[in-house]
Structure 1
Amino acid sequence: MAPEDTSLPLAMVSLILHFSWNWVGLAISDSDQGTQFLSYLRTEMEKSMLCFAFVNMIPLNMRLYMSRAEVYYNQILTSSTNVVIIYGDTDSTLSVSFKMWTSRGIQRIWVTTSQWEVTTSKNDFSPELFHGTLAFAHHHAEISGFKHFIQTVNPLKYSDKYLARLEWMNFNCGVSAFMCKTLRNCSSNDSLGWLLAQTFDMAFSDDSYDIYNAVYTMAHIYHETLLQPMDNKEKSQMQRLILPLFQMNSLLRKIHFTNPVGNRMNMNQKEKLQPEYDIFQIWNFPNGLSLKVKIGMFSPYFPQGQQLHLYEDILEWATGSRQMPPSMCSADCGPGFRKFRQEGMAACCFDCSPCPENEVSNETNVDQCVKCPEGQYANAEQIQCIDKAVSFLSYEDPLGMALTLMALCFSAFTSVVLGIFIKHHDTPLVKANNRNLSYTLLISLIFCFLCPFLFIGCPNAPSCILQQITFGMVFTVAVSTVLAKTVTVLLAFKVTTPGRRMRYYLIPRASKFIIVICTLIQIILCAIWLGISPPFIDIDAKSEQSHIIIVCSKGSTIVFHCVLGYHGSLALGSFIVAFLARNLPDTFNEAKLLTFSMLVFCSVWVTFLPVYHSTKGKVMVAVEVFSILASSAGLLGCIFIPKCYIILLRPERNSLQKLKEKTSY
């Protein structure tokens, strides 16, 4: 008569999920029924990613149980779970174990069936923290007249064992130790009507309801029997009700009806209906009293996700809150973290690990963080991806603005120096230092100072090519001009003697050849650069977390370093030649100035290389621009500032008479 508990595991799992539990214990009888329940429950829990903190299968044999009782007790005592499922017969060793746990003060949320409602009495009660029983009972409607009968019955008129115990519990009457039938010290007019003020369950228990249905089933069988036509009309009505067992069995298999409560009854095993469950919350008070409140129900016939329905208002009234105590193996991993499982741990047990760099999680208990797209980065909390800002050396940037002002000032100052030299082109100072080479050097320096404008601003394909090619060419012209000036000084005093025509013929041609040949070599290097791997736009989204850096990649770094190395070889050659000619007698001998200018130039670019390779992004571009400005300023300052000083402030030294005096000396 009792329906199978095939949907009970699903009902319990639905309740566990509703309260966000994932770490529960299980204590069941070691029987076929318990093993079957465990199989169903394990399947449902695995579907929902729930875990067992422990599984205690209590043996039915009392001797075997007593040898392991302390093990079971210690296991539930030390477990971190707050929820324990109890399933089995109340007259088994499981009941003994359960009473021992509660008597020793173990407080848990017990999830069980209605037959486990009666628990050991407690003398203490803590309403601030729920520790009670959630019981599942088969759903059936109220039986008409039953509540009125319970409330008006006088227990002294009945010898029913249950009523006697109920009278002893609520009226403090004595009950004999053996049969529990004799009631003493009780008023003959007492009834149970006062229990109406309490929340007392007036419905049938599951066992009583099964008996109720059994009686009605037999009544229907006999009713059908009486309605059947009989061949032997002489049989009495009583004889017709005496049925053979095989005939009784056949009728049971066919019987189906709706009982007075309104529930369908079907005895066909193949068409067995899945039961619905009422969910009760039971609190145990001192002196054996308890409070039982219906807080919801479960129906397997509703769609998935709507099968469990809890009465939130009643739940809040019964517990003071709609939230149950937590029962989780591990604390939730909030946004910005991910679950990290160690080997051998249950699926519900994990550690929380921060998301890796540039990965986010905006949900709770995620297994993997999500990597931000290429154009975004993770915020500090790693819960959101933010669009990266585009970064390049712009004119609005303080660094770019400072370099722009420096380039403009130096190019303007160089133009002023060029104007001074052009204005005083007939003076001995300008003539003695080869004014054509001075003009060429000053013009190349103006372009050197203007070259940084190709580096500042948002890069594009043409500017990336022009900035490196222009830088390579104008610096080659400038340094080769310095080399030509130093070679001119050396040839003027070492190769020829004063007064010969060959001196005036050789010196101009040597300087032109030096500039042309040196520049031609650089043109070949740049052509190879453009042919092999020219500069291009490089979008760097990885160097800085919050920025997308747009820079010009050098393309072939080998050729780029060859261009720098070629500049260095020209500068080194100029330095050596100028150093050799530093002590040659001449009034306006600039060999010393050229030597010092090449020393400054080489120092800047030797320092540039390690600093350049240790920086990234716009700082790297700024380092290159600063090196261009510093080395160009070194050439301008060391070679031309002393001459401008003499031309503008010491004009008496810029005369032919002064030149003759120095020469005779």
Structure 2
Amino acid sequence: MINATPKNYQHLLALVFAVKEVNDNPKLLPNISLGFHIHDSYVDGKLTYLNTLNFLSPLERLIPNYSCGIHKNLFAVIGGLDSETSFFIDNILSNYKIPQNTPIPPRNTPEMPLPHPHKGSRLVSYSISAMMMNYENWFPSIYQMIPKAEHQYQGIVHLLLYFQWTWVGIIAVDGDQGARFLQMLIPLLSQNGICSAFIDKIHKLDSTDALTDFFFMSWFQNNLNLSVAKAKAKVVVINADARTVVLLNWILHSPAVENAIETTMAKSNDVLGFQDFICNVSSHWPEGDGFIRTFWQQAFNCFLSDSKEDEANPYRCTGKEKVESLPGPFFEMSMTAQSYCIYNAVHAVARALDAMHAARQKREMMLHPFLRSVSFNNSAGDSIHFNEKGELESGFDIINWVTFPNQSIVRVKVGRVDPQASLGQQFIINEEFITWHMAFNQVQPISVCNDYCHPGYRRKMKEGEPFCCYACGNCPEGKISDKKDMDDCVKCPDNEYPNKNQDHCLLKVLNFLSYGEPLGIALAVLAVSFSLTTALVLGLFIKYQNTLIVKANNRDLTYCLLISLFFCFLCSLLFIGQPRTPTCLLRQTSFSIIFSVAVSSLLAKTITVVLAFMASKPGSQIRKWVGKKLACAVVVLCSTIQIGGCCVWLYVAPPFPDLDPYSITTEMVAQCNEGSVIMFYCVLGYMGFLATVTFIMAFFARKLPNTFNEAKFITFSMLVFCSVWVSFVPTYLSTKGKDMVAVEIFAILSSSAGLLFCVFYPKCYIIILRPELNSKSYLSIKNK
């Protein structure tokens, strides 16, 4: 059965063409010719029941359950285009176990009694828009000429995600069919990040009246424009019965609808010879076609008349009208998806009949087993076979309806959804074949609740609104978003950092104090200069080693102090350059040991001054302690303790080269990891302890009467030394990267220079500029 509208007339032609192909094929059903009867359902249940009973009755009269005379040799029935029509047909035929090839799977409605599961009706569905509630539970023997409906839902989701349409309107037919559609589609949309901008329902058209069509189109067009404008959605997903879809085609492609686009998903193919067959259709079509007159008059807006009195009427059909001149929404020349399914349904029944006759089965035997196992390639090259549920194992084509200014339409295949294909090939689309609606200036429309969040920003949910509606916020410091609409910003890898716009990462520059930069050069030159100065002072003291000022306060301690200061200046060079394993092991340990030797030498000098003063008193027992052995013992003991601490440090947790990606955002700091921070501060603390003891002793011994008393110079030098290192700690902790290294080098150089100049500058002044003060005669005069 068909719904007799001009758009659906092609379905009739597809059936006629398929039957003609079968009858013209000598290898298929030899000596048997297929015939057919076509009835109009008028979208009316009563008429559908009546026409179905006509299939089962003698030619002349309608007498159910009675066969007399010449009767219709009925093998199968191709059902209606809408679900109710198919249900009504099956409700009758299931009682007679006559295979029915129905255009769509029937859907359950509360007011319809359901057939028993054991009934033997066979349905072959070809509608792409029909839905039903769990039909396989009630119609286990249905044959559906379209793939499973769930595949279409998945295809719709794939299509929306491909074009990044996350804000879409949904329109469904009111009733069970629309409820099923919404029940299955909306959860899928939500699971894939797609929101419903609006959900509208339209009434199913139960009349073929042209006036009803006009009012429906006007109402729907106004409501669609209102919904789209209010929701700001440019994409609408529509589910409707086949007849309503025909009317929607006119609406969606009219200039008045500027914010809608239709991409129809169906399965079709070009059947060889079908267009030539259509071109032969004329108003003088065989008399057996009871639809040609209605079709011709509606399609060409004229009336057919054989009366000579009407020859002068300008509205009389001339008979020269050509169907290929009709606009696409009204009548298509290429085979539509529904017509293609009807074509395949006829061939499926014919091959099942052929198989049944080849097996020499009696006519009374059911056609069902042969129909279930049918498998063939049609003339278009497509494979036709059913799965265990009676569903066609196939996919969907993605069709782009291209509308031209003259309202003609061309269907362009732009992709395919095939659940049976291999992974990665289940959804294919060729975007270059798509022609967008003129309202979008031929470019892909954007259908989102709000503008995308550009790279450098992240999505922020709006309270009380769907998750597709959001605001955009800047990425937090240290993070980026390199794609649009990211839910959260991400950190760069450790060796990279965010750019200014926070939309991509830049490679961090390696940070270390090198000999090639001004600061490194300056510190190196300063260290070498101080070490050379120390060497000159040492040479000067060796030259004047026999003078009184050199001999005073233990000459060996003076040499030890100068040598240690010489190496103190040089050890600062270990801190310049990219850290390596040897330099990391030697940096802090060599510096702390050498400084400990220098400070312990000063401590020994101070002890020598104190003991010399105390030994000068009559009867003092301390005189036996005064001498070089005590001074050397002090130096050795104090230095050994520091050496022991450094050895423990190197054994337990030695320093090693490391990269610090966190201290400086844009740079990767190459540094020496101290291994054990506790040991590092223990070594520095011990050195500070020696300096404090030396400062205290020198401070109390600064006014002791003694020739060339160094205590006051040692006091001042230790004051400088302690001041430098006390200020070093907070400064060191507040700097980062190579600046930390520079601070430590500066502390080493400044404290070493303080010791050098405060202790030895006065002596060098006397030796070089005031030699008369460095003589026995001056000492004798001073003692008188």
Instruction: With the length of structure 1 as denominator, give the TM-score of the two structures.
Output: 0.71
Tell me, yes or no, if the aligned pair for 1:258 and 1:264 is still in contact at 8 Å.
yes
Once residues 419 and 249 of structure 1 are traced to their aligned partners in structure 2, the CA distance between those partners, rounded to angstroms, is 126
Q: 1:520: which partner in 2?
A: 637
CA apart distance, 1:649? 2.2
- Aligned residue number for residue 656 of structure 2: 537
Structure 2 equivalent of residue 146 of structure 1? 278
Using the TM superposition, give the Cα deviation of residue 399 of structure 1 relative to its aligned residue in structure 2, in angstroms: 3.2
Q: Distance in 2 between matches of 1:260 and 1:579?
A: 113
Pairwise CA distance, 1:414: 0.8
Alignment partner of 2:729 out of 605, 609, 617: 609
Question: For residues 388 and 656 of structure 1, what CA distance do their matches in structure 2 show?
Answer: 67
Q: Tell me the residue number matched to 1:294.
A: 411
Instruction: Show the counterpart of 1:116.
Output: 248
1:24 alignment partner in structure 2:
168
Q: Residue 303 in 1 paired to residue 421 in 2?
A: yes
Tell whether 2:781 aligns with 1:652. Answer: no
Equivalent-residue separation in structure 2 for 1:350 and 1:461 (angstroms): 52
Task: State the partner residue of 1:441.
Answer: 561
Once the two structures are TM-superposed, the CA of residue 607 in structure 1 deviates from its matched residue by 0.9
What CA distance in whole angstroms lies between the structure 1 residues aligned with 2:679 and 2:349?
A: 104
SS for the counterpart of 2:743 is helix
> Which of residues 464, 479, 482 in structure 1 aligns to 2:599?
479
The Cα shift of 1:392 comes to 3.9
CA deviation map 1:303-346 (0-9, x unaligned): 36366666845727978976321123455556666666678875
Partner of 1:399: 519
Aligned to 1:118, the other structure's residue is in SS state helix
CA distance 1:150–1:18, shift in 2 (3 Å)? farther
Q: Which residue of 2 aligns with 1:279?
A: 399
Query: Which residue pairs with 2:590 in the alignment?
Result: 470
Provide the C-alpha distance between the structure 1 equivalents of 2:538 and 2:690, rounded to a whole number of angstroms: 24
For residues 416 and 524 of structure 1, the distance between their equivalents in structure 2, rounded to whole angstroms, comes to: 30
**Offset, 1:428:** 3.4
**Is the Cα–Cα contact under 8 Å of residues 253 and 403 in structure 2 kept in the other structure?**
no
Alpha-carbon distance change, 20 to 291 in structure 1, aligned in 2, over 3 angstroms: farther
Q: CA deviation at 1:413?
A: 0.6
1:548–1:182 distance in 2 versus 1, CA, 3 Å: farther
Q: Decide whether the 8 Å contact of 2:265 with 2:398 is kept in 1.
A: yes
Q: Which residue of 2 aligns with 1:453?
A: 573
The one-letter code sitting in structure 2 at the alignment partner of 1:139 is S
Could you tell me whether the CA contact under 8 Å between 1:339 and 1:365 is conserved in 2? yes
Q: Using the alignment, how far apart are the partners of 2:183 and 2:339 within structure 1?
A: 28
Give the residue type in structure 2 aligned to 1:21. W
- Measure the CA separation in 1 of the matches of 2:295 and 2:380: 23
Greater displacement, 575-584 / 362-371: 362-371
**Cα gap change, 1:115/1:451 in structure 2, threshold over 3 Å: closer, same or farther?**
same
Q: Deviations over 1:476-498 (max 9, x none)?
A: 2222222333343344445415x
Three-state SS of the structure 2 residue aligned to 1:24 is strand
Cα distance in structure 2, aligned partners of 1:310 and 1:421: 92
Cα distance in 1 between the residues matched to 2:343 and 2:312: 27
Q: Is 1:201–2:332 an aligned residue pair?
A: yes
The answer (yes or no) to whether the contact 1:480–1:514 under 8 Å persists in 2 is: no
Q: 1:453 to 1:515 in 2, by over 3 A?
A: farther
As a proportion of its length, which structure holds more helix? Answer: 1
Q: 2:596–2:642: 8 Å Cα contact kept in structure 1?
A: no
C-alpha displacement at 1:442, in angstroms?
A: 1.6
Match of 2:239 among 81, 87, 99: 87
**Separation (CA, whole Å) in 2 of partners of 1:361 and 1:206:** 44
1:661 aligns with 2:778: no
**1:78 equivalenced with 2:234 (yes/no):** no
Distance 2:472 2:482 in 1: 14
CA contact (8 A) 2:252 2:261 kept: no
Distance 2:242 2:546 in 1: 124
Of residues 328, 334, 337, the one that matches 2:448 is: 328
Find out whether 1:33 has 2:177 as its counterpart: yes
Pairs within 5 Å for 1:535-574: 535-542=654-661, 543-545=663-665, 547-574=667-694
Uncovered stretches (5+) of structure 1, i.e. residues with no partner: 96-112, 176-180, 232-246
The offset of 1:609, in angstroms, is 1.5
Q: Secondary structure at the match of 1:290?
A: coil
Between the aligned partners of 1:45 and 1:550, the Cα distance in structure 2 is: 50
How far does the alpha carbon of each residue in 1:236-268 deviate from its partner, in whole angstroms, 9 at most, with x for none?
Answer: xxxxxxxxxxx9996799789999999999999
CA contact (8 A) 1:253 1:268 kept: no
Q: Secondary structure at the match of 2:250?
A: coil
Task: Report the AA paired with residue 408 of structure 2.
Answer: L
Q: Distance in 1 between matches of 2:252 and 2:511?
A: 73
Quick check: 2:728–2:743 contact (8 Å CA) kept in 1? Answer: yes
After superposition, what is the alpha-carbon deviation per residue over 1:486-534, rounded to whole angstroms, capped at 9, x for unaligned? 343344445415xx8989955742x642452354144235424533645
Over the aligned positions, Cα root-mean-square deviation in angstroms equals 5.4
Moved more, 344-353 or 479-488: 344-353
Partner Cα separation in structure 1 for residue 630 and residue 387 of structure 2: 115
* Alignment-derived partner of residue 624 in structure 1: 744
The offset of 1:606, in angstroms, is 0.9
Quote the Cα distance in structure 1 between the aligned partners of 2:585 and 2:350.
Answer: 103
**Residues 10 and 611 (structure 1 numbering): CA distance in 2 closer, same or farther, change over 3 Å?**
closer
Over 3 Å counting, the alpha-carbon distance change for 1:219 and 1:318 in structure 2 is farther
Q: Say if 1:525 and 1:559, in contact at 8 Å, map to a contact too.
A: no
State the shift of 1:582 in Å. Answer: 3.5
1:634 positional shift = 0.4
| 560-569 vs 387-396, which moves further | 387-396
C-alpha distance in 1, partners of 2:626/2:783?
Answer: 23
1:425 is paired with a residue of what secondary structure?
Answer: coil
C-alpha distance in 1 between matches for 2:349 and 2:658 = 87
Q: How many residues were matched structurally? A: 601
CA distance in 2, matches of 1:561, 1:660: 50
CA 1:465/1:205 → structure 2, altered by over 3 Å: closer, same or farther? closer
Which aligned pairs between 1:97-496 and structure 2 lie closer than 5 A?
113-114=245-246, 116-119=248-251, 131-135=260-264, 139=268, 141=271, 142-149=274-281, 160-168=293-301, 186=315, 189=318, 192-193=321-322, 196=325, 201-202=332-333, 271-273=390-392, 279-281=399-401, 283=403, 290-296=407-413, 298=416, 300=418, 303=421, 305=425, 312-313=432-433, 315=435, 323-329=443-449, 331-332=451-452, 376-380=495-499, 390-496=510-616
The one-letter code matched in structure 2 to 1:146 is: I
The whole-number CA distance in structure 2 between the counterparts of 1:488 and 1:219 is: 125
Q: Distance in 1 between matches of 2:635 and 2:583?
A: 25
1:591 is aligned with what amino acid? A
**Partner Cα separation in structure 1 for residue 295 and residue 388 of structure 2:** 32
Unaligned runs of 5+ residues in structure 2 are 1-101, 104-125, 129-148, 207-215, 286-290, 305-309
Q: 1:261–1:152: structure 2 CA closer, same or farther, 3 Å change rule? A: farther
Q: Deviations over 1:27-51 (max 9, x none)?
A: 1123222233334544765676544
Q: How far apart are the structure 2 equivalents of 1:362 and 1:263?
A: 44
TM-score normalised by the chain length of structure 2: 0.62
Q: CA, structure 1 residues 114+301, in 2 after alignment: closer, same or farther (shift >3 Å)?
A: farther
Deviates more, 1:478-487 or 1:327-336: 327-336
> 1:404 touches 1:453 (CA, 8 Å); kept in 2?
yes
Aligned counterparts of 2:419 and 2:715: Cα–Cα separation in 1: 99
